[in-house]
A and B are shown apart, each in its own frame.
Chain A
Amino acid sequence: MNRLIQEALVVGLAHRLHANGSWTGETHLQKAAYLLSELRDVDLGFNFILYKHGPFSFGLRDEISAMRGEELLDSVVPNPRYGAQLMVTRRGQDLEHQLQKTMQRYGPDLDWIAEKLGSRGVMDLERLATAMWMTREHEGASVRQRASALVRVKPHITLEDAIEAVEEIDALLGERSTARPA
């Protein structure tokens, strides 16, 4: 994917998550980008590995860092007790407006993912994204098998929560074919 389009989509995702109530820290953006690629087939061009709090991309981390340097995103600390938030700058908004074709093409996918995930906290996002990872890793496995695999790599998550997360992923996967624009 062209880097400018990649940047516009990261900006678009960040601002939509924020508009839907998300804290929009790095973890939120990481998990939303991963689920965007898996649930909506919008591949931003980052590799993900199973790492901290589930699927994680150092490529996306570096891109966020570079986008801060390019004044497309700003890191703010509204409350010193919590992690930083990533806010879209004026320059970031301009980029999104300038890439009209891109936003027409991918805007509905960004809206969909932001509506689904904007209100979710980091712990929820970690469970969901890791459940998605296990669903891809263990194709055809039952809900309980995938939930057990999730708990093996993330032992601080209970089996009950893991089952709930896998079931939600199955529901979202079922939804995506009907939610996609023709």
Chain B
Amino acid sequence: MDSMAKRLHEVRDAIHVFIEFDDDERLIIDSPEFQRLRNIHQLALTYDVYPGASHKRFEHSLGVMHLAGRIYDVITRPDKISDPVRATMPDPSQNDHRYWRTVVRMAALCHDLGHLPFSHAAEDELLPDGVDHELITWKIVHSDAMLSIFNAITPPVRADDVGKLALGPRKAERLRLGVGFTPWEAILAEVIVGDSFGADRMDYLLRDSLHTGVRYGHFDHERLLGTLRVMPEPAREDKELDESGTEPVLGCERGGLQAAEQLLLARYFMFSQVYHHATRLAYNTHLKDFLKRWLPGGTFPVDVAGHLARDDSDVLVAIKQAAADREAPGHDPARRIVTRDHFKVAYEKRAAPKDGRANDEDHHGDTPADVEALARAAANRFGEDLVAYGAPPSRKRPPDFAVRSRDGRTSEWASGLSDVYLRLPESPDAYVLADATIRDDVRRWLNDNRETLLDEARAAKIEESEKGVS
């Protein structure tokens, strides 16, 4: 028992009703680093498409802490830990267990501290090479202000542990942080930022669904939470005879499969309706164009102090001023945002035919690279400032996940159990966007010349690629 019990505080939340936090967590929440998230829109300029989508990273981060803590409590319940994975996990009665619970909630709270103004809308091109918002998160977690909070906790929380779980192995690899993950740490990172059942993903789907009004982004997260387990990884091939040599993974019980399928569908609907909405992608383009012209040197500062000094409110004021001043840097994209003169869809990625001809040489659908090539060709013909390629920055498919059998003795892959997983459609997510006055001309030109343009682009790309190969 702690010598002095921590006080619990609570706050109302649109998704989770009440979110509780203790004195230590309150120190983080009250810090300027965390309070800044009150001024970072969760979905950038999406509120120009879905008026309700004006929620912020602040409440999302609280929600992720809440869900991550609940997942931790579920997967470490003594009656839910099976023998094959027991050695991986800390003894629920020991200090280690309490330490990792603290770290998980702290990491969940801190996971978005490095977000730039307007979240992901313009990140790729507005930071120097090798830097992304997670690196800034890592720096903030290791800043003097945060270290003083972590060190005052009993027992002290290691900033590296918070940073590792907040970023996860994917970002640690990309940023070459030189940190490794034990099997237990890998599972805890999955709890927060995992592609299948991460608290981050669950909270943003639920919260974005609520605020945009896109109701089919909802899923039965209570059921899913209750069925999450740490389990041996299922067999990956026919040579794997038993579970003795596998590493533990985060999965769900068989009884949670339908809730997991619902999450997959929620993800699909939210991506096709909201995150990859063509008008949202057009606004992202205008925002990025504005920021590149307005920011000194065309990039955001990456030092902690410079980062903390900027949020959406500065950018919104600058957009308003630039829109009113023809001479201001970034006037045109700012004007497009303020007057809603955004680019329109001139071409949308074509799907392959669904009648079995998809593998025929002449019946391919478009790839995102094809659409990008068409956008480039149209920009060359109609003007760089009048045409853009609109696509989300990443296009990850949901990974396969483990499901524990009803008798609790074996794990299986969702791909072997779920037709929903296997047949999950992809949203149309790549567009040629154009100024409204030339949109019809661009559309006609692309449709008339598509085959020739794509053949030329592919041939040029192959020739260019092989130039350096000897």
Contacts and interface: CB of A to CB of B under 8 A. Distances in A.
- Bound together: yes
B469 A49 contact: no
A69 B352 CA distance: 11
Interface stretch (B197-205, B229-237, B277-285, B436-444): B229-237
Nearest to B469: A101
A105 B247 contact: no
A180 interface: no
Contacts of B236: 23, 25, 27, 82-83, 122
Contacts, number: 136
B173 A48 contact: yes
Interface in A59-109: 59, 61-62, 65-66, 68-71, 75, 77, 79-84, 89-91, 94, 98-102, 105
A156 B245 contact: yes
A25 B469 CA distance: 29
Interface stretch (A50-58, A139-147, A168-176): A50-58
Interface in B237-290: 237-240, 244-247, 249
Nearest to A68: B397
Contacts of B174: 47, 58-59
B332 to A, nearest CB: 31
A45 interface: no
A99 B239 contact: no
A51 B181 contact: yes
A58 B247 contact: no
Interface stretch (B52-60, B291-299, B411-419): B411-419
Contact of A47 (B176, B238, B396): B176
Nearest to B249: A52
B426 A69 contact: yes
A57 B240 CA distance: 22
A70 B368 contact: yes
Interface in B64-106: 87
B180 A49 contact: yes
Given A65-B396, A69-B368, A80 B412 contact: yes
A47 B133 CA distance: 19
Interface in A91-150: 91, 94, 98-102, 105, 121-123, 126
A99 B245 contact: no
Which bucket holds chain B's interface residue count?
Answer: 35 or more
A81 B368 contact: no
Given A81-B235, A82-B235, A156-B247, A58 B170 contact: yes
B359 A90 contact: yes
Contact of A53 (B244, B247, B367, B416): B247
Kindly name the residue among A23, A105, A122, A157 whose own CB sees the greatest number of chain B CB atoms within 10 A. Answer: A122
A102 B235 CA distance: 35
A4 interface: yes
B237 A71 contact: no
B355 interface: no
A6 B361 CA distance: 23
Kindly name the residue among B364, B368, B466 whose own CB sees the greatest number of chain A CB atoms within 10 A. Answer: B466
A2 interface: yes
B358 to A, nearest CB: 8
Contacts of B422: 77
A82 B395 contact: no
A101 B415 contact: no
Given A49-B180, A77-B416, A83 B465 contact: no
A27 B180 CA distance: 19
A166 B58 CA distance: 49
A5 B169 contact: no
B403 to A, nearest CB: 11
A57 B416 contact: no
A75 B414 CA distance: 13
B32 interface: no
A29 B465 CA distance: 23
Kindly name the residue among A5, A81, A94 whose own CB sees the greatest number of chain B CB atoms within 10 A. Answer: A81
B23 interface: no
Contacts of B237: 23, 25, 28, 82-83, 121-122
Kindly name the residue among B173, B176, B394 whose own CB sees the greatest number of chain A CB atoms within 10 A. Answer: B173
Nearest to B178: A49
Given A49-B181, A71-B367, 11 more contacts: A49-B180, A50-B180, A50-B181, A69-B426, A71-B364, A79-B416, A89-B359, A91-B359, A123-B240, A153-B180, A156-B246
Interface of A: 2, 4-5, 23, 25, 27-28, 47-53, 56-59, 61-62, 65-66, 68-71, 75, 77, 79-84, 89-91, 94, 98-102, 105, 121-123, 126, 153, 155-157
14 contacts: A25-B237, A47-B173, A49-B173, A50-B180, A70-B369, A71-B358, A80-B416, A83-B234, A83-B237, A83-B400, A90-B361, A121-B237, A121-B240, A153-B180
Leading 7 A-B pairs by shortest Cβ distance = A80-B416, A121-B239, A23-B237, A58-B170, A83-B236, A70-B367, A4-B465
